[in-house]
Amino acid sequence: MRTMKNSAAPFDFRFERDGAGYIVSGPFGPALRLTPAEFRLFGAGKVKEGSVLFRRLEAAGLLRGRLDFEAEAARARGLSAGVYGGPGLHILVLTLKCNHACVYCRATAGGAGKNSDMSRATARKSVDTAFASPNNKLSLEFQGGEALLNWPVLRDTVLYAKKKNLKAGKDLALSVVTNLSLMDEDKFNFLVKEGVSVCTSLDGPARLHDANRRWSGGSSHAKAVHWLKRFAAAAGRDGRADTLPSALMTTTRLSLADPRGIVDEYRKLGLGGIFLRPLSPIGYAGGAWPEIGYGPEEFLGFYRAALAYIMAVNGAGEKFVERNAALLARKMLRAEDPNFLDLRSPCGAAIGQLAYNFNGDVYTCDEGRMAAACGDELFRLGSVRAGRFEDLMTAPAARLCAMASCLESQPYCARCAFKPFCGVCPVHNYSVQGSPWGNIPGGSWCALQKGMFKTVFALLEKKKTRKIIEGWLEKGAAV
């Protein structure tokens, strides 16, 4: 075996071709761009000691003879800080019924005509299960269908969880995901009083939002905007930043033509930022893909255009965050875990979150529950009606997801320059490719992640845009 004894011998590295050069990283980042000539010198262990390139490689932990083990350990700890805490996010599906017929979700079809409301007893058992998690930071998220269609149980569960927490003393956050069409003064007052934050969907301007989110009762957009403003005003009045309402955007094929209009809608409402997410082909959206889906390159074109516009907006003095870019930057610049469960190794399935279906069945995550709604129970962990928390956490589906999403066990990812910051989704792989491990190099997940990493990495290389993104990561920024 040939060994390199000089101080420029490369340490365990991975690389990615990008344009004419290479992006290179060590096991825990950071990533570095090298020209082809620099890459050849680095790979051959022939970088001159003391040169600028040598110092760059040394600082990035890429030289075997110049490793700072403390720094490497700190980076490893930072990037996987959330992996060991136990599930913190608990999603309670209060009903499958919905009064909307959104193009990417067929919850109505799934729930109509069935008794698909979560009972009070099941909701309380779900809360008990959530409190059994060792994680001291608990987030209970009420979802549907349309969660407000099961208002009595939502109300009861909020009070039950808060009472339970008087003894448990956890850092408890409560939120409801709702289309806001059924909001009224009583519900509003209760949610504000109890500190339950509201998250709604906002796909863009009225024309786009209402085309995606069809509602026979009128304009879904008008309702969402009206109540978003009311909740924002209440949070401002009470000085409660933790209960500021938030909005989530789903990108359909229709969205691709209007990146500016979508960003402007979020700016107009004073939401402070936007999370530009590609459409997930899991569950019902998979069935509607021919109508609303698109390829990775189409999304990336949209993403780059929106991000360029957001940079211009920030450059003109308005702080407006793109949360996807911010979370990738947090990993690449600071080696911190932004607690985004879908981009972690291993991912947050079971070990970071649990999804409780209306009937008490528990799944690895909401996406695992959505796969079950389409008839496949692979990601079911058990039920709140039987078994202990420990049984859920050691169920085969929990172990399967942890193994399949551990990037060290994904041969293609293990060699990728973005591996220190990335993650893969076993439910996505299973839905699209028929196996939780999937075929990463041939899949849309990787194409999307790689494209977004390259886009954000390029922005971090430019002084002006890097400064903007660093500003997004300052304390208090919602990332």
Where do contacts with ligand SF4 occur on this chain (CB under 6 A)? Answer: 341-342, 347-349, 364-365, 367-368, 401, 405, 407, 412-413, 416, 418-419, 422, 424-428, 440, 446, 449-450
- Residue nearer to ligand SF4 on the CB measure, 332 or 422: 422
Two tokens at 460?
Answer: 């971090």
- CB within 8 A of 190, min separation 6: which ones? 155, 158, 196
Rg of the chain (C-alpha set): 23
Percentages of the chain per state (helix, strand, coil), in multiples of 5: 50, 15, 40
Crossing angle, helix 220-238 and helix 185-194, to 10 degrees? 40
Q: How far is the CB of 327 from ligand SF4 (least distance, A)?
A: 14
Closest contact distance (angstroms) between CB of 262 and ligand SF4 is: 23
Beta carbon nearer to ligand SF4, 106 or 419: 419
274: which strand partners?
Answer: 322
Q: Which is nearer to ligand SF4, 380 or 428 (CB)?
A: 428
Which of 422, 468 has the CB closer to ligand SF4? 422
Between 326 and 341, name the residue whose CB sits nearer to ligand SF4. Answer: 341
Q: State the amino acid at position 215 in one-letter form.
A: W
The Cα 270–Cα 471 span in angstroms is 18
DSSP 144: S
CB of 335 to ligand SF4, least distance (A): 16
Q: Minimal distance in Å, beta carbon 425 to ligand SF4?
A: 3
Rounded to whole angstroms, the Cα distance separating 103 from 211 reads: 8
**Minimum Å distance from CB 424 to ligand SF4?**
5
Q: For the stretch 227-249, what's the b/e string if a residue is b when 16 or more beta carbons lie within 10 angstroms of its beta carbon?
A: bbebbbebbeeeeeeebbbbbeb
The residue (of 34 and 341) whose beta carbon lies closer to ligand SF4 is: 341
d(CA 453, CA 105): 28
Residue 208 or 425: which CB sits closer to ligand SF4?
Answer: 425
Task: Name the residue nearer to ligand SF4 (CB basis): 165 or 409.
Answer: 409
Helix (H) or strand (E) holding 17: strand 14-18
Nearest to ligand SF4 of 41, 130 (CB atom): 130
- Asked if omega into 145 is within 30° of 0 (cis), the reply is yes
Pick 32 or 416: Cβ nearer ligand SF4: 416
Q: What is the smallest separation between the CB atom of 138 and ligand SF4, expressed in angstroms?
A: 17
**Farthest-apart Cα atoms in the chain, separation:** 75
State the DSSP code for 13. Answer: -
Q: Give the nearest distance from C-beta 102 to ligand SF4 in angstroms.
A: 19
User: Cβ 334 to ligand SF4, closest distance in Å?
Assistant: 19
CA distance 241 to 61: 39
Minimum distance, C-beta of residue 82 to ligand SF4, in the bound complex (Å): 12
CA distance 262 to 265: 5
Q: To which H or E segment does residue 362 belong?
A: strand 361-363
As measured in angstroms, the least distance from the Cβ of 429 to ligand SF4 is: 8
For residue 362, what are the β-bridge partners? Answer: 356, 382
Cβ 103 vs Cβ 291: under 8 Å: yes
